Structure 1
């Protein structure tokens, strides 16, 4: 019988309501989803961990099922994460952050090590200043989009309806899955002959992420990304990582269009770190190598 989950409302100290849900039993793990401006799409990660982890998922402020109210900043989102921790009565926890959520989880770990027993840093983009990975990411995104590039560019450069926001997001998320090649032909899907990508399978995964469609909060995205461009990668961040005593697992998909070398500086800075690179996987490695991803996470949680 499938586990019945009941959504809960976390109330922040400034009166904003956040959507949250708890599933499974075991080591307390709090997920931090990507974005900024998106919502939790990590249910597929939570399910297989139910035997070893009590997983707590939530939608960040202004996103998804949470109240669409600012302000939007790293500090405010960290305070909201702490409100989630307190709501569920956790004295400490493991944090699992994906993409932008990995940056959030890292920053919370540095600020509140007394509440973090471990950090699982999935598909993040490191701690270098100035986000040097962005140019390569842009080139990789356009190459991976292949025949969808023209439509993506058209949508990206115009004012959009809500339906067009969804279409743009699905196209962009399709590129987050790896170029599968011959080993995925048994899916019975047609592959783009120019780029080798199993577009129909990747599109199916992106459509799942966008269903139900909860709407991107572009104001949240713009505010937090602008803050990150001003502040991320300062020498103090490297020093604080080097001084951290929290164990960290970095998990990468080798075919992520965000270059994996961007994470090297974080790996070098952390004194208690292990890293698993999953070949043939992209930005959502649990989707394309579920066995490898779950083995790495379970080993970390049970160590």
Structure 2
């Protein structure tokens, strides 16, 4: 992974309860659209160096490590979506942004959507990348687990090794992340880059936020809120993601200003396997493409 730590301006953002969050900015500065990236997990850290490099001539790109994760201050939580939405708003305020575009990946897509629902007046556009929609977790998690074991089981020795390692072990993470790529020949290489540098998984954060999603996602109020969301949203999928892509259909149907871009030969991290198409999708969203192409799905 390209190390942009020295190229980006790193800062400390203070949340409203005093917890210190790591953040960095790069790109076009004040003249460009502000694009804030929300990493996946929960409990992981910003792995968007390559994404920032891919997009930094399009926007002022802001990255951050979520509470208790990565380079941010270790703390006791709280591990709730409401708290993380407030932290994202602290990042916005720190950089003096009245409005911003949001790009969230995986769990970060859920966080970015939650922020847009809470503060639509502060969001110019939302890029919802590799999320799992707004239906109950039970609607997709079973097939996901089956797909996970089948994909990792393509190399039985890797599956056996993954099972014997503790949850927080870097080697286990690399094995687990290797199933996220359609290019099987380079899957371990790509996964290894995700783990370098290694900041440690916040397992408590992961468990708590996943439990919250399991309890709350799929509520009728969520569908109603998404149906009323007056923000242009671009849903970005890798068709070979092992999370059933049908899970995202629920969100696509609900959005009044939605567009979907699907990469047939990409997995969970489409910018790795389809960088040119991914950049074009983001550029279009920043240009307002999610508005003009409402209800349009594209296969790139």
TM-score by length of 2: 0.90
Equivalence for 2:207: 222
Aligned residue number for residue 171 of structure 1: 175
Q: 1:90 aligns with which of 97, 102, 123?
A: 97
Moved segments of 4+, more than 6 Å: none
Q: 1:134 aligns with which of 127, 131, 141?
A: 141
Match of 1:99 among 101, 106, 115: 106
2:296 aligns with none
1:183-194 to structure 2, matched below 5 A, reads none
CA–CA distance in structure 2, aligned partners of residues 298 and 149 of structure 1 = 41
Q: In 2, are the aligned partners of 1:148 and 1:171 still within 8 Å (CA)?
A: no
Per the alignment, residue 297 of structure 2 pairs with none
* Deviation at residue 282 of structure 1 after TM alignment: 0.2
Deviation per CA, 1:105-150: give whole Å up to 9, x if none.
0011001001111100000000002431111111111111134455
In structure 1, what is the equivalent of residue 245 of structure 2? 260
Are residue 30 (structure 1) and residue 36 (structure 2) matched? yes
Aligned-pair CA distance for 1:159: 4.3
Query: Judging changes above 3 Å, is the alpha-carbon distance between structure 1 residues 233 and 157 closer, same or farther for their aligned structure 2 residues?
Result: farther
Kindly indicate whether residue 129 of structure 2 is the aligned counterpart of residue 144 of structure 1: no
Partner deviation per Cα, 1:14-67 (whole Å, 9 max, x = no partner): 111100000101110110000000000011111121111101000000100001
Displacement of 1:156 in angstroms is 3.9
1:123 aligns with 2:130: yes
Aligned positions of 1:69-88 closer than 5 A: 69=75, 70-88=77-95
1:300 pairs with one of 282, 285, 289: 285
The 8 Å contact of residues 25 and 60 in structure 2, kept in 1 or not, is answered as: yes
Aligned residues of 2:37 and 2:104 also touching (Cα < 8 A): yes
Match of 2:50 among 36, 44, 47: 44
Counterpart CA distance in 1 for 2:96 and 2:56 is 19
Take 1:168 and 1:157, find their aligned partners in 2: how far apart are those partners? 9
Change (3 A) 1:148 1:73: farther
SS of alignment partner, residue 175 of structure 1: helix
CA distance in 1, matches of 2:285, 2:141: 30
Does 2:17 match 1:8? Answer: no
Per-residue displacement from partner, 1:149-195 (whole Å, max 9, x unpaired)? 554455446646x6xx10110001000001x3xxxxxxxxxxxxxxx
**Is the CA contact 2:152–2:158 (under 8 Å) kept in the aligned structure 1?**
no
Whether contact under 8 Å (1:133, 1:258) holds in the other structure is: yes
Q: How many corresponding residue pairs? A: 280
Q: Aligned partners of 1:173, 1:158: CA distance in 2, in Å?
A: 14
What is the root-mean-square deviation of aligned Cα atoms in Å? 1.5
Distance 1:148 1:135 in 2: 21
Q: 1:274 to 1:159 in 2, by over 3 A?
A: closer
Between the aligned partners of 2:155 and 2:263, the Cα distance in structure 1 is 26
Q: Counterpart of 1:39 in 2: which secondary structure?
A: coil
What are structure 2's unaligned runs of at least 5 residues? 289-300
Structure 1: runs of 5 or more not aligned: 181-196
1:271 aligns to what SS in structure 2? coil
